[in-house]
Structure 1
């Protein structure tokens, strides 16, 4: 999925964050990631399973080295003493078939839509959350004065959205309350309007923060008002 946020949209998102933060002591930061994982390990697991299982279908059909020209078509095939040679060649050919199945399956599984299809949603969700938490820490959302930082994170290739709130918020706000912001951002991404999705999610997150964390008399901007694309 190729989707970029234009410079003018960066500005409108920054303005939306500033407007939301004007009504709260909380801090909002946004990240748009192309992908959070290559999922090579998942592709390798599926390819290995295919290599182990699919060639077994040849065995009931009488699989042996004769199926492949040049492997079993020799004078040794008619000699009782050559039995071990035939078995060895058959095992060798079977191993070659397994290797071919593995390579073919792995190549197919590296196609992004196929990778996503064969990667369990729970794994995509978990890795997206890990990536979001890394960004949360990397951008200092955990060191705000009242621990009221909120990260709005979207992973395009993984089709996952996360909202992470620091412990100051988590202790006072039901985590389920962020579902509306997640839905708004997801809808924007599905419609190929990521900026609109982020702006709507920022507005909703700002409402939650304003309700529970009104602005302080001195209300410095502790985190830059912007969205980062990675």
Structure 2
């Protein structure tokens, strides 16, 4: 099964229908439908020559939209760089240099729904909206949106309602220790009720702290007789060199 990122790359290789960021916000089903439509257009020749001008106009509008978004992003980037330079001038030379990896504010970060149901987040800053249908769903958010969420809606991180699925972003957002000591390990139990493919995908995309929690929770559930999936146990033993269910 193709991931969102793969589908988006294939769509953009066929036609510049929208920005990568906007396409990432679409569901897998919508992306697959869009890709199928574009592939059909490639193999189907237009029957009427009169349609060409309309298609050209649509392509021109899409190009203008893309160029405008690029200009806005570049302008925002320059403003951020100016702010950083201004802060560097005020910073004493004796201040130690941070070892944190700098993340581009526009980088797309995978974010997982950590609740037991659907989840919606609305950005007051940009007006964008993200919808997760169920636990384990992955949506992509710009790093700057996560910064805004941390300031205005800290509860999304603290409960947690979401899990950031990128180790660099986790560290930059100051979530490393919290993920290593997450408050409600029972929230992880729903992972073990997923089918094998979904289970492996969620485990692989989880940050290091959450991987440790999944392994720890798996051992506890196995010992209590609540986890009896041989496939899931074998996957974790092979992937993480654990010995769940192998001790005599």
Structure 1 length-normalised TM: 0.24
Q: Which has the larger radius of gyration?
A: 1
RCO higher in 1 or 2 (8 Å CA, sep ≥ 6)?
1
Structure 2 length-normalised TM: 0.23
